[in-house]
Amino acid sequence: MIQRLYNGLRRRTHRRSLNAQLHPEAVVTPETQVENFAGGPERVQIGAHSCVRGRLITYGHGGRIAIGEWCYVGVRTEIWSMDAITIGDRVMIAHDVNIHDGTAHSMDPEERHRHYRHIVERGHPRTSEEMPGVFSAPVVIEDDVWISFGVTILKGVTIGKGSVIAAKSTVLRDVPPGVLYRCEVTPVITPLKLGVSDA
């Protein structure tokens, strides 16, 4: 049955001018999007027998996404990199997952507005200096991890080999190998402190 599914997905494979390095045995379906603003195809790599059905994005000033072999990235999953996101082998990522290795925008409203105007008027910034208040750190997802649907993984996190991230979890810190990680999010409301980098 799995082989029939894989063969069916392979028939739907498309490689229409995707700015990425795809192994000849990688599968990218029509819903796959690669928005590689960082530059050359080496910045987005998809390994042998992996199937990507989501959206892969690098920022204009940098970013790398490397997906290993025999991985699955589900529909509507988005992987955003301004630093580096490394996904090992045999990693299963369900639908509606978000993985971000950066904060995307400044906490300061003036910096945030300048950044947005830069994107609208001149395109994505090409250097980190053009993005004050934005912070990034690599994300590493080791071999044999399963990330269930609706999970959010944020900057600087390593998920250890063989671990399972339960549905709708938010991952803010490292997860050791071989564990089931699940979390309840309790709202915490605090005043904004401009210039703080731990958002």
Alpha-carbon radius of gyration of the chain: 17
Residue 190, number of CB atoms within 10 A of its CB: 5
Residue of 23, 49, 61, 105 with catalytic role: 105
Residue 142, number of CB atoms within 10 A of its CB: 19
Closest residue by Cα to residue 95 from 110, 113, 74: 74
Tell me the Ramachandran region of residue 162: left when phi exceeds 0, alpha when psi lies from -120 to 50, beta otherwise: left
Does 105 qualify as catalytic in the annotation?
A: yes
Please name the helix (run of DSSP H) or strand (run of DSSP E) that holds residue 4, with its range, or none. Answer: helix 2-11
Count of positions (residues) in the chain: 199
- Cβ–Cβ < 8 Å for 16, 37: no
Kindly list the catalytic residues.
105
